Amino acid sequence: MINAEYDAINASGERIKLKIEVRAPELDPLPGGDFRCKVCIQALNIDEFAYGVDALQAYCLSVKLLKIRLDEKQQQGWQFYFPDHLDHAIDFNEGYF
């Protein structure tokens, strides 16, 4: 599992601790399924799978899913920061994706 922690401030100014988790690819348990990789950010109610034909594709698509969800939040006015460094917001699109 890959995880990271950040501080986040929503459009209303509320500050929350954010833990992002991207779990290792696994076989999809559904009949005929390929692989899946879970993306979880509990504080933002994000708990989804990205699916791929193999483990690498599932992982790569989980990163794209993470980008989409964080971009949605940024467009809604959310700002993200390294823990306890509220002087400079992180733009995930510029620095990570």
* Partners of 36 in beta bridges: 26, 51
Q: What is the pLDDT of residue 19?
A: 97
Query: Is residue 58 within 8 Å of residue 36, measured between CB atoms?
Result: yes
94 pLDDT above the threshold of 90:
no
Query: Is residue 63 within 8 Å of residue 22, measured between CB atoms?
Result: yes
**Residue 81 per-residue DSSP state:** E
Please give the Cα distance from 83 to 86 (Å, whole number). Answer: 8
Where are the domains positioned within the chain?
2-89
Please give the Cα distance from 13 to 10 (Å, whole number). Answer: 5
Q: What is the pLDDT of residues 18-70, one digit of tens each?
A: 999 999 999 999 888 899 999 999 999 999 999 999 999 999 999 999 999 99
